[in-house]
Structure 1
């Protein structure tokens, strides 16, 4: 890695860290603002069955692609 690309690589990493910290801060902020009692008993709604099926298909497709990549890598050795 050259000296010119290191700062460019640091930018996306910093942006990801900032996004994660901001997301975590919003949840903590809600609890600190006195709404914890109002939201403590609430849960997020369950996803629709079609959404669950779509996510399962994505996971299955990813597993299949990983298996193909593994077999290709094994064949290359």
Structure 2
């Protein structure tokens, strides 16, 4: 899973930009990370974003506790 993420980060962000400063690199990588987690749909998560998947997981856990 980590290797897949690292590959995507490299292909979609690091290889597409020439960073002129550390600050610029941090800003562009943070923007890419935000897009990856909040807007990009993932097939491995049933077409959800990681944030949507996480929220759904928390809701499911709450419902499971209520059913006990």
Q: TM-score, normalised by structure 1?
A: 0.33
Return the structure number with greater relative CO, CA threshold 8 A, min gap 6.
Answer: 2
Higher helix share: 1
Q: Which entry has the higher C-alpha Rg, 1 or 2?
A: 1
